[in-house]
């Protein structure tokens, strides 16, 4: 391999790496942080309850565009941990998505707001979620 070809490959690799890092940084600043809001039940004949929620999103190291999302519900003025899920951000659709055994959470990100749903595996709408960035 010639030195010129090797040099071009190195430059191309550096360029692509910088583009990926820039996209990752943009996604992180768009998603990472604390989001508060409500989660409303859609199915009246279910064990579901309306809740006030707090989500804490952080980009997962080494996985650009993938976030850890810890969800809490408010009870008696205190955050009660519900669990942590892995979320994938789709920059073309501006969506965060997380699959669980019962269905799929999908949130649409628009500035400092997220609106979304939980749909069960049979596509039944189960919850509507409304969040606003607080940090």
**Which comes out higher in pLDDT, residue 81 or 23?**
81
Kindly state the average pLDDT of the residues 26-49.
87
pLDDT of 45: 86
Specify the fold of 3-133: Lipocalin (2.40.128)
pLDDT tens digits for 82-121?
A: 999 999 999 999 999 999 999 999 999 999 999 999 999 9
pLDDT of 24: 42
> Reduced to 3 states, what is the DSSP secondary structure of residue 25?
helix
Q: Grade residue 29 by pLDDT with cuts at 50, 70 and 90.
A: confident
Q: What percent of the chain has pLDDT over 90?
A: 73
* Nearest CA-CA partner of 134 in 61, 74, 92: 74
Kindly state the average pLDDT of the residues 4-16.
46
**What are 76's two structure tokens?**
């008696």
Place of tokens 């990100």: 109
**What are 5's two structure tokens?**
């070809």
pLDDT of 104: 98
Q: pTM of the entire structure?
A: 0.77
User: What CA–CA distances, in Å, run from 17 to 3, 24, 70?
Assistant: 21, 10, 29
Cα–Cα dist 72/79, whole Å: 6
Domain ranges of the chain: 3-133
Query: Phi/psi class of residue 64: alpha, beta or left (left: φ > 0; alpha: ψ in -120 to 50)?
Result: beta
Predicted confidence (pLDDT) at residue 61 exceeds the cutoff of 90: yes
């Amino acid at each position: 391999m010639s030195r010129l070809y090797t040099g071009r490959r190195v430059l191309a690799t550096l360029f692509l790496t910088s583009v990926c890092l820039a996209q990752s940084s943009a996604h992180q600043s768009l998603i990472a942080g604390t989001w508060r809001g409500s989660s409303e039940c859609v199915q009246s004949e279910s064990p579901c309850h309306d809740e006030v929620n707090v989500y804490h999103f952080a980009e997962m190291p080494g996985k650009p565009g993938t976030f850890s999302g810890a969800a809490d519900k408010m009870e008696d003025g205190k955050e009660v941990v519900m669990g942590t899920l892995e979320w994938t951000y789709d920059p073309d659709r501006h969506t965060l998505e997380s699959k669980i055994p019962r269905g799929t959470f999908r949130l649409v990100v628009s500035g400092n707001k997220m609106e979304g749903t939980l749909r069960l595996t049979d596509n039944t709408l189960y919850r509507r979620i409304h969040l606003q960035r607080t940090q």
